[in-house]
Amino acid sequence: LNRRLAGFGTTIFAAMSALAVRTGAINLGQGFPDTDGPEEVREAAVRALRAGHGNQYPPGPGVPELRAAIAEHQQRFYDLAFDPGTEVLVTAGATEAIAASMLALLEPGDEVIALEPYYDSYAACIAMAGATRVPVTLHPEPSTGTYRLDLAELRAAVTPRTRLLLLNTPHNPTGTVLTREELTAIAELACERDLLVVTDEVYEHLVFEGEHLPIAAFPGMRERTVTIGSAGKTFSFTGWKVGWVTANGPLVSAVRTAKQYLTYVSAGPFQYAVAEALRLPDSYFDGFRADLQRKRDLLADGLRAAGFEVYRPQGTYFITTDITPFGEKDAYAFCRALPERCGVVAIPNSVFYDDPDISRSQVRFTFCKKDDVLHEATGRLSRLT
C-alpha cells in the first residue's frame, strides 16, 4: 500500500458489518436499509434487464433517460435547471462521485476543508488526490442537543492553498442539517475566496426538521458547485450503486474525465429503473421521510431509555449518542465489545475524526431498520449495565 493510503486499511463499515455477521448481532452500524425500496422500481430493473436495456456498456455520462430524470428532479424539488446533456453525470454510487470529483478537481498540495466528523471516504479520496484535508469540527450544542458549525472557525480554516469546501448536508454521522443562514455564509465565503464546493447531499430526502437547501441554489454558487446524490439512499437500493453529479458543464466534464478511468460507465439496467424512481409522485418521498422520522423517534426514545445521551438528528438515518452515562469513555472499545455484551453492532464516531480524542465517547446507531429490529435492539441495549 502506498504512503497516500497508509492507515486507510479496511473501512469501519466493512469491519463492523463483518463483526455483526460473525457474532449474529443486530447490525445498527453500517447504514443500509433492511427493506428494499419500492416494488415498482425493482420491477423496472427486471424489465430493463429482460428488454436488454443497458446490458451492454451504456453511454459514459449515463443513459439519457436517467440524466433527464435527474435534471427533472433538481428542477422539481429545488428549482435548479441543469442541461441533461452536459450538466449531469451518472456515477457508481455517490462514492464514485466523491472520488472522481477529488481526483478531477484537486492538485497535489491543495487544501480541502471538510466538516468533521466526516464520512470515511472523504479522507481517503482527498489523500488519493495528493491533497491535504483540513477538518472544521462541528460542535455539540447543549441547548439544542444538535451539532453545529462554527462559521468563524470555517472562515479561519481558509488559506491561500484552499481549493475546495467538501460539504455534507444532511450530515453523516451527526444528522446536522445546514440552515439557510449557515449556507448563505458558506456561499459568501466560497465566492469571496474563489473556492469550489463539492456537496454530498445523498440524504436530501431525509430531513425531519427544517428543509434541505442545496447550496448550488445560493447566489454565485451554481458555477462553482458539484452536487452529489444517490439512489442508494433515496430509494433504498444501496446495492445498485447508482449515484449522480449535477454541476455546470466544465465541472461535470472534469469529473467525467476522472470517472471514465475509474469505472468507464456505471451498470446499465439499474439506471433505467432509477429514472422511473426519480419520477415517483411526492407521496413516495413524503412517505419515505415520514417512515424514517418515526423510526428516528423510536430509536432515539429507546436509546435514551437505555441510558444513552442522545443527540437529535435533524436528518439522515443516523443517531449519534454518548456513552458517558454508562461510566465509559472509549467508544471504540465499547463498540468492539457490544456484540458480546448485548448482541448489537454500532459505529464509534472517533473513526470520523482526525483526532479521535475529540469524540472518544460517541457512538453512532442507524435507524433504517424494521421496527421490530429497532425494538429488539433497544431492548437488548436497555440490559446493558
Q: Which residues bind ligand PMP (CB under 6 A)?
A: 31, 93-95, 119, 168, 172, 200, 202, 230, 232, 238, 243
Cα 307 to Cα 289: distance, rounded to the nearest angstrom? 27
- Name which of 16 and 189 has its Cβ closer to ligand GLN: 16
- Name which of 317 and 380 has its Cβ closer to ligand PMP: 317
- Name which of 123 and 342 has its Cβ closer to ligand PMP: 123
Q: Which residues pair with 228 in a beta bridge?
A: 200, 245
- Name which of 31 and 339 has its Cβ closer to ligand PMP: 31
Q: Which residues pair with 293 in a beta bridge?
A: none
Cα 166 to Cα 149: distance, rounded to the nearest angstrom? 13
Residue 367 class from Cβ within 10 Å (0-12 exposed, 13-18 middle, 19+ buried)? buried
- Name which of 26 and 189 has its Cβ closer to ligand GLN: 26
Collapse the DSSP code of 92 into the 3-class scheme (helix H, G, I; strand E, B; otherwise coil) and give the result: strand
266 near ligand GLN, judged by CB under 6 A: no
Least Å distance between CB 362 and ligand PMP? 17
> Which residue is listed with cell 435548479?
80
**Dihedral angle computed from the Cα positions of residues 219, 225, 231 and 235, in that order, rounded to the nearest 10 degrees:** -20
Least Å distance between CB 237 and ligand GLN? 13
What residue 243 binds from ligand PMP, ligand GLN, none (CB within 5 to 8 A, per partner kind)? ligand PMP
- Name which of 186 and 306 has its Cβ closer to ligand PMP: 186
Least Å distance between CB 91 and ligand PMP? 8
Residue 151 class from Cβ within 10 Å (0-12 exposed, 13-18 middle, 19+ buried)? middle
Least Å distance between CB 130 and ligand PMP? 21
172 near ligand GLN, judged by CB under 6 A: yes
| Region of residue 54 (left: phi > 0; alpha: psi -120 to 50; beta: else) | left
- Name which of 74 and 342 has its Cβ closer to ligand PMP: 74
Maximum CA pair distance of the chain? 59
Least Å distance between CB 87 and ligand GLN? 26
Q: Which three cell numbers stand for residue 134?
A: 483540513
Site for ligand GLN in 182-221 (CB under 6 A): none
Least Å distance between CB 174 and ligand PMP? 11
Least Å distance between CB 31 and ligand GLN? 3
Site for ligand GLN in 317-376 (CB under 6 A): none
Give the DSSP letter string of 255-322. Answer: HHHHHHHHTSS--HHHHHHHHHHHT--HHHHHHHHHHHHHHHHHHHHHHHHHT-EE---SBSSEEEEE
The answer to whether the bond into 117 is cis (omega within 30° of 0) is yes
Closest CA to 25 of 383, 377, 378: 377
78 near ligand GLN, judged by CB under 6 A: no
Residue window 23-62: x/- pattern of binding to ligand GLN, with contact defined by CB under 6 A: -------xx-------------------------------
207 φ, ψ to 5°?
-120, 125
Q: How far is CA 302 from the centre of its chain?
A: 24
- Name which of 175 and 214 has its Cβ closer to ligand GLN: 175
Least Å distance between CB 313 and ligand GLN? 13
CB closest to ligand PMP, residue no: 93
313 near ligand GLN, judged by CB under 6 A: no
Size of the site for ligand GLN (CB under 6 A): 5
- Name which of 84 and 232 has its Cβ closer to ligand PMP: 232
13 near ligand GLN, judged by CB under 6 A: yes
Q: How far is CA 192 from the centre of its chain?
A: 27
Closest CA to 362 of 313, 311, 314, 315: 311
What residue 94 binds from ligand GLN, ligand PMP, none (CB within 5 to 8 A, per partner kind)? ligand PMP
**Residue ranges in contact with ligand GLN by CB under 6 A:** 11, 13, 30-31, 172
